[in-house]
Structure 1
């Protein structure tokens, strides 16, 4: 009986709950469906070299910020990360192993520069794990506060 009253009061007092907002109750951040669709294209069809995601603090939603063409380089990718704002990104890294085998690994990169706003860093940090779970197929993760922490040498070292 108490549970029924509790459920009824929840549904009437708080208005309508959106499924997306409920899904990430820790931070209240929703994930736009386009994020998952573009990631699947990167993973399955290799239509993109990288995807940069932005957390819209007003809408409390993660959206696609930039798509990198397959021919773009790692330098092109790092150049599109803003120096004073946080971002999430995935990068499809191609490499050749010591055994001369062509391989690819998908990196998840949490970009949180020291110069970004504290509120932004907190929102990105509290939403990261849940967002990562939405992108099924990530193999490696990097967290960077400075470009040197995600240099090509570091990426290569992690991939091998």
Structure 2
């Protein structure tokens, strides 16, 4: 289903991998990319449950936009173990302008396909999505 505004379809695999992360906890993270030629969002990479947040951050390209979801486990001030699904729109300053525009215009529609996102973050450089930022947004 292409969206009139952005023209981007969402590959079924995106929703399936997201459900695996959300319901089965099969993955720690999923990185999505837009295939401009096919005009659709596809799964680029999945991270095993044992991988750390640093592994996830390192999987995002330094100069290309991506969408990603990360299953963040943390302990609350009341000492409760919790988990939140964080959606990150990664749009580094060094990415091509056209790419940033396509990702920005497709984000809301793509996010609606992924039911269960609890926190959203927009990041243009690694400091905007470092683990302390994630932790404060999750609480």
- TM class by shorter chain equals over 0.9
Give the greater-gyration-radius structure (CA): 1
Q: Give TM-score scaled by structure 2 length.
A: 0.99
Q: Which runs of 4+ in 1 moved over 4 A?
A: none
Q: Give the secondary structure class of the aligned counterpart of 2:5.
A: coil
- Specify which of 112, 126, 137 is matched with residue 133 of structure 1: 112
1:42 has 2:42 as partner: no
1:4 is matched with none
Cα deviation per residue 1:30-87 (whole Å; 9 max; x = unaligned)? 0000000010010000000000000001111100000000000000000010000000
Aligned partner of 1:157 in structure 2 is 136
Q: Which runs of 5+ in 2 are unaligned?
A: none
Q: Which has the higher helix share?
A: 1
- Listed as ranges, the gaps of 5+ residues in structure 1 are 1-19
TM-score normalised over the length of structure 1: 0.86
Task: Output the aligned Cα RMSD.
Answer: 0.5
1:98 deviates by: 1.0
Higher RCO structure, 1 or 2 (CA under 8 Å, sep 6+): 2
The equivalent of 1:74 in structure 2 is 53
- Aligned length in residues: 139
